[in-house]
Amino acid sequence: MNDTRHNTEEHRHASATFDAELHELKDRVLKMGHLVDVQVAAAVDAFVGRDQAAARRIVSGDQEVNELEREIDERCVRLLALQQPAASDLRFIAAVLKIVTDLERIGDFAVNIAETVGALDAGPLRAEQDLVPLAQEALTILRRTLEAFFRRDVDEARAWTTADRSVKAWVLRLADELRDAIVSEPKVVQNALAILLTTRHIERVAEHATNLAEMAIYTARGEDIRHQVRR
């Protein structure tokens, strides 16, 4: 009788510990998501404002993103090694391992944009007016898919799996506009190419953000839709 009670208490303690560690893992992923969100928005602002000091802060801030990725990876491995998670929790941990890679890449794109600021050598082109709203559209995808992932909201996640298409279409329109600007005024070529490169980085942010929607569906349903979406 005492052994049974003891085993039950041990199980409750282990379960409570697991739940607490899972909650902490979620908090760290949310922190990482918020950090890269802020970094991308700040990088685009620095680009449009020609703010090289802000750009340098963004580049140095990438270290915190990388440290969070390593910490989250270690937490996931520890949970897998020391616990025996149920199927849904196992899928969640596996998905987190994938998601933090996407978040880290988004952080890298923020750095890439910030590093481009130093290449700007003339006044702004009209296409630059679209950079901030374009980035906000990409970051809206990131925020909504991250929310869907943690709520395990399949319907919401499905609604965002192809949301990057509007960003891609916008980038293509800007590419045409920049090409025309270069043809009509060749001296703007360096700035036009820097803007084009920045739009490509923002496009990649949106692509990685839609990966979170795919992982939300996988976590909730155990359904891998990645290749379906790409088709």
pLDDT tens per residue, range 114-137: 999 988 887 788 999 999 999 999
CATH 1.20.58.220 fits 2-230, yes or no: yes
Residue 231: band (very low, low, confident or very high) from pLDDT cuts 50, 70, 90 = very low
Residue 14 has pLDDT above 60, yes or no: no
Residue 13 has pLDDT above 60, yes or no: no
Secondary structure (3-state) at 162? coil
> What is the predicted pLDDT for the residue at 225?
62
> What is the predicted pLDDT for the residue at 97?
95
Residue 174's region, left for phi above 0, alpha for psi from -120 to 50, else beta, is alpha
Cβ atoms within 10 Å of 195's Cβ, excluding its own: 27
Q: pTM score, two decimals?
A: 0.89
Residue 193 has pLDDT above 50, yes or no: yes
Q: Looking at this protein, which amino acid is placed at residue 64?
A: E
Domain boundaries, the chain: 2-230
Cβ atoms within 10 Å of 104's Cβ, excluding its own: 20
Over range 138-160, report the average pLDDT. Answer: 95
List pLDDT tens digits, range 25-56: 999 999 999 999 999 999 999 999 999 999 99
Over range 77-82, report the average pLDDT. Answer: 87
User: What span, in angstroms and rounded, lies between the C-alpha atoms of 57 and 35?
Assistant: 13
Burial of 86 (0-12, 13-18, 19+ CB in 10 A): exposed
> What is the predicted pLDDT for the residue at 132?
97
- Max CA pair span of the chain: 88
Over range 202-211, report the average pLDDT. Answer: 97
Rg (CA), the chain: 21
Over range 155-184, report the average pLDDT. Answer: 95
80 versus 29: the higher-pLDDT residue is 29
> What is the predicted pLDDT for the residue at 101?
97
Alpha helices in the chain (DSSP H): 2-49, 52-82, 87-116, 131-151, 154-160, 164-184, 189-221, 226-230
End-to-end CA distance of the chain: 59
For the chain, give the mean pLDDT.
Answer: 90
Residue 10: band (very low, low, confident or very high) from pLDDT cuts 50, 70, 90 = very low
